[in-house]
């Protein structure tokens, strides 16, 4: 146990010491936030005004939508950024030293997972706190204690799922140049598949289906349902209008004509944790160095 703790501490120290790793972990979040401040906010509010009129609280609803999407995106990008330590260790042969030392190989790889979870969870909590403060500042209300714990639970399982998926992908990357390419691709696509750049409802049907089966999209949906519930029910008081808006904004997700329920998405994300976990166990058994 002491060896595992020391490895985790070492990974945490190496991540926070490398300012570029920290910055690029936030890059997608920064891009989405920048687009929101410059363009998306006015477009979203203008669209709502055409539907419900110039009523009070539109900015709160839109802010809740974008902030929940940002938190969902961060669970993936922070996990990927933290796991870059594996690539760096493989490139400078540090991981070889660990594997030939009298250390259980499973502890080495488990330390990467634990440190990744700690990093992503702590920073995601900070982002959530900032998001809540911003929503309250814009005229909204603080979430209830129950909903806060729901958000933290969704964040936790999403980070585990994202970490295991990213770990499997990263296990095939052997140098930091390739890792940078992978990070750029993931960081670019993540905003689209979660509907953070453009509303999910205007995407082609095939792309919507693909996006909706991804764990990160379901995480965004779960967070949006929790964080948008108050302002959405207050402003969109018609069930038909609420359902149409939720479908357009990627709050309610569909596969074909089947609407994914809250519990179904939780179970699906849990299933991905099991599947990605097994895939990683098989993968790392085949790694010699």
Distance of alpha carbon 191 from alpha carbon 75, whole angstroms: 12
| Token pair for 196 | 């953070």
Smallest CA-to-CA distance from 265 within 217, 197, 198 is with 217
Contact 73, 191 (CB under 8 A): yes
Q: Is 0.85 surpassed by the pTM of this model?
A: yes
More reliable by pLDDT, 31 or 64: 64
| Token pair for 200 | 């999910």
Residue range of the domain that includes 179: 2-286
User: How many domains is the chain partitioned into structurally?
Assistant: 1
The pLDDT tens digits of the residues spanning 72-86 come to: 988 998 888 888 888
- Is the model's pLDDT at 289 over the cut of 60? no
Contact 160, 219 (CB under 8 A): no
**Looking at residue 111, what is its pLDDT?**
86
**Looking at residue 28, what is its pLDDT?**
64
Q: How many CA within 13 A on the CB side of residue 124?
A: 30
**Looking at residue 156, what is its pLDDT?**
95
Distance of alpha carbon 190 from alpha carbon 20, whole angstroms: 20
Strands 258-259 and 254-255 come out as antiparallel
pLDDT confidence band for 15 (50 / 70 / 90): confident
Contact 77, 123 (CB under 8 A): no
**Looking at residue 102, what is its pLDDT?**
62
What is the enclosing helix (H) or strand (E) of 226?
A: helix 215-235
């Amino acid at each position: 146990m002491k060896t595992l703790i020391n490895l985790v501490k070492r990974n945490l120290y190496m991540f926070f010491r490398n300012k570029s790793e920290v910055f690029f972990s936030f890059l997608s979040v920064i891009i989405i936030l920048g687009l929101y401040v410059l363009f998306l906010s006015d477009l979203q509010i203008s669209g709502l005004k055409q539907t419900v009129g110039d009523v009070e609280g539109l900015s709160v609803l839109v802010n809740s939508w974008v902030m929940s999407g940002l938190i969902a995106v961060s669970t993936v990008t922070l996990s990927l950024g933290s796991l870059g330590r594996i690539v760096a260790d493989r490139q400078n042969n540090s991981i070889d030293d660990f594997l030939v030392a009298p250390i259980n190989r499973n502890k080495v790889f488990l330390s990467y997972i634990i440190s990744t979870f700690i990093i992503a969870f702590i920073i995601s909590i900070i982002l959530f706190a900032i998001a809540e403060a911003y929503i309250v500042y814009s005229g909204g209300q603080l979430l209830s204690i129950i909903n806060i714990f729901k958000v933290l639970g969704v964040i936790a399982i999403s980070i585990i799922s994202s970490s295991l998926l990213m770990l499997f992908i990263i296990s095939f990357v052997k140098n930091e140049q390739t890792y940078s390419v992978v990070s750029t691709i993931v960081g670019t696509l993540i905003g689209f598949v979660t509907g953070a750049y453009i509303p999910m409802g205007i995407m082609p049907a095939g792309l919507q289906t693909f996006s909706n089966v991804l764990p990160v999209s379901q995480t965004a949906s779960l967070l949006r349902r929790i964080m948008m519930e108050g302002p959405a029910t207050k402003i969109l008081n018609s069930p038909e209008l609420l359902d149409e808006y939720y479908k357009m904004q990627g709050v309610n997700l569909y596969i074909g004509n089947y609407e994914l329920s809250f519990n179904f998405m939780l179970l699906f994300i849990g299933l991905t944790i099991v599947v990605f976990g097994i895939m990683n166990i098989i993968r790392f058994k085949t790694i010699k160095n």
